[in-house]
Structure 1
Amino acid sequence: MNLMDQTFTRLKSNDQTALIPFLTIGDPDIETTVDIIVELEAAGADIVELGVPYSDPLADGPVIQRASQRALKHKVNIRTCMETAVKARSAGVKLPFILFTYYNPVLQFGLDQFFAELNAHEISGLIIPDLPIEESADIYRMAETAGIHLVPLVAPTSDERIASIASSAKGFVYCVSSLGVTGERASFFEGIEDFIQKVKTYTDLPVAIGFGISSGEQAARFARICDGVVVGSAIVRQIEETIPLLQDAERRQEGLLQIRNFVSQFKSE
């Protein structure tokens, strides 16, 4: 069984909601990213999204764009991100990994090799935000053959389109909580709870929510009606603000502890 499925099954049996943090890999450097992943697991994370830095991140807001620029200075790419997953495993991390990347880097990597490498590097899932459902059939087929869950994003749209996206999903369905790019938000669109409930009628898979969740209160609100809560920009911003500590050998552990404590507020029991 895919490690992601095992995680959701365990959480459901304990009446818990998955905390799914997002990281931009290589921000501020690979060694620190591995240490941060260790802290995320200690903070209660259940699954981690490994964000591949990209020069034209259409779905990402300014916080993640800045993180991508910092990571790209170190020439971080898809292979680097996969290797980071292995380094985290060597550091004792047990939780599942999802690779978050845009389609062009995947295409440049080569599809057959890409899915073989995902498997070899113990990546459980994949999110490609700029891959529309109409053009995803081959990718879904290859992912299923490789045992990798291709997780779709679904935003408010027609019932027909929601049904189409949900019916082809693997792992979980990722509901977009805010229209537009990623980023921290004080409020969400009206009717978001109804939207989540509608998505649930079209799938038996877990349903997670992301895009804009920036406080423990917001995470707790969605944890009551979702199987998973994704937190991205808020964590990436915390890392950004902590970089001076992380790059100071004498205060590095202080910076890592700050990140752990920040992330722990999003975990609902």
Structure 2
Amino acid sequence: MSSTPAPTAAPFFPGRRAPGATPGLALFLNAGDPPLPVLHDLVLMLDEEGVDCLELAVPFPDSVTDGPVIRRSASRALGRGGAALDDVLAFVADVRPRLTHTRIALLADWRYSLGRRDPTAATRDIAASGADALLVHALPPRLRTAYLESAAAAALPVVTTCYASSPDATRARAAQDATAYLYLVAHYGRSGTAPAAGHGALARTVAELREHTAAPIAVGFGVSTREDVEAVGASGADAAIIGSAAVAAVERAQQDGRDLPGAFREFVRSVRPA
């Protein structure tokens, strides 16, 4: 039974990039860290700064793919309460109409947030919130086709993932199924770790993935500095995804008692190429 991809909306990242061009920028944060009222102001700031995408996670515990920075963030969010899936969808519904540039890709864990819900209703509710795309963490392979069909029925673009080291067929399938963007994980390991050869060495993998998708390709894991973002651009990818470094910036600002949107604005400007 073949899957039916969800329709592709306007691109998350403007156009395909020539190698060396400035890539788009996506930032990862856990909903609830900072607390949702503060996060609201932070998201508006991201829009002012022209950040292309916020990967907003519904926090979940004990992620085996995340390093200590993101795991601590998820623990803080869960400890505060008020960041379950329905809370996050209400947050997205409130903030998304106020954004003129930044798109929101919702990340939800299958077991913790989605597994007990009817997939058709869940994807419909996520689309109705105004989320621009959905990335499902730890989706069981046997449920992939049903999930893609539910997303297509809800007109909800999907983010798919693959490792640079994944088998050719796995990478090709992920590329074919992507309708929002393809998240190319640069390094097999936990978030925050970088590939030994650098992100620019992914150029061949990016070029091969281009043969299987019209969706943008975004590279993440170990992207934490302006130089890393430039290296992602050198690979020919459309965007760089910054996760652990962004979450660490939130953590430092909260520990220091700083104005979070202002402190995070400094971080955004520090990683964006001139």
Matched, 1:193 2:203: yes
Distance 2:75 2:33 in 1: 9
Matched, 1:43 2:49: yes
Alpha-carbon distance change, 157 to 184 in structure 1, aligned in 2, over 3 angstroms: closer
- The equivalent position to 1:64 in structure 2, one of 70, 73, 93, is 70
SS class of match (2:131): coil
TM-score normalized with structure 1 length? 0.87
Distance 2:178 2:98 in 1: 31
* Alignment RMSD: 2.6
2:125 alignment counterpart: 117
CA deviation map 1:22-52 (0-9, x unaligned): 1111013111111111122223311111111
Counterpart of 1:257, as a letter, is G
- The equivalent position to 2:252 in structure 1, one of 241, 246, 266, is 241
Distance 1:6 1:192 in 2: 22
Matches within 5 A, 1:63-102: 63-75=69-81, 76-89=83-96, 91-92=98-99, 94-102=101-109
Distance 2:191 2:175 in 1: 21
Q: Is the 8 A contact 2:65 2:191 kept in 1?
A: yes
Distance 1:16 1:146 in 2: 33
CA deviation map 1:200-255 (0-9, x unaligned): 22222211101110101100111231111111110000000001455xxxx53xx3
2:272 alignment counterpart: 267
Matches within 5 A, 1:1-269: 5-8=10-13, 10-12=14-16, 17-75=23-81, 76-89=83-96, 91-92=98-99, 94-104=101-111, 105-155=113-163, 156-185=165-194, 187-188=196-197, 191-224=201-234, 225-244=236-255, 252=259, 255-268=260-273
Alpha-carbon distance change, 60 to 33 in structure 1, aligned in 2, over 3 angstroms: same
Q: Is the 8 A contact 1:150 1:171 kept in 2?
A: yes
Counterpart of 1:227, as a letter, is D
Distance 2:121 2:38 in 1: 28
Q: Is the 8 A contact 2:7 2:179 kept in 1?
A: no
Distance 2:205 2:195 in 1: 19
- 4+ runs deviating over 6 angstroms: none
SS class of match (1:108): coil
Quote how far apart the aligned CAs of 1:160 are. Answer: 1.9
| Identity of matched residues, % | 23
Query: Which segment is superposed worse, 73-82 or 181-190?
Result: 181-190
SS class of match (1:45): coil
Distance 1:228 1:33 in 2: 23
Q: Provide structure 2 residue ranges, at least 5 long, that are not aligned to the other structure.
A: 1-5
Pick 1 or 2: higher relative contact order, CA cutoff 8 A, min separation 6.
2
Q: Is the 8 A contact 1:45 1:267 kept in 2?
A: no
Query: Which segment is superposed worse, 188-197 or 127-136?
Result: 188-197
